């Protein structure tokens, strides 16, 4: 229970710390997803270049 300013500041700091942790976790997942999509796109175009070099006839 919040009885004075010190308790309020402690709770506010704890909430901000938790929100910052969620933000950092989200940032890491977004960066990981972007890297994964970039790798997938790179592999896709690399396969496309390999197929165009081979003669199917």
pLDDT (0 to 100) of residue 50 = 56
In a domain, 15, yes or no: no
pTM of the model: 0.65
pLDDT in tens, 13-49: 999 999 999 999 999 999 999 999 999 998 888 876 6
Domain residue limits at 40:
25-51
In a domain, 46, yes or no: yes
In a domain, 4, yes or no: no
In a domain, 13, yes or no: no
CA neighbor of 14 nearest in space, from 30, 2, 27, 28: 2
Q: What's the rounded Cα separation, in Å, for the pair 17 and 23? A: 10
In a domain, 16, yes or no: no
Of residues 1 and 9, more confidence is placed in: 9
Q: How many domains does the chain have?
A: 1
């Amino acid at each position: 229970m919040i009885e004075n300013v010190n308790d309020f500041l402690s709770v506010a700091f704890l909430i901000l710390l938790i929100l910052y942790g969620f933000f950092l976790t989200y940032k890491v997942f977004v960066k990981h997803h972007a890297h994964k999509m970039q790798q997938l796109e790179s592999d896709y175009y690399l396969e496309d270049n390999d197929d165009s070099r081979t003669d199917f006839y």
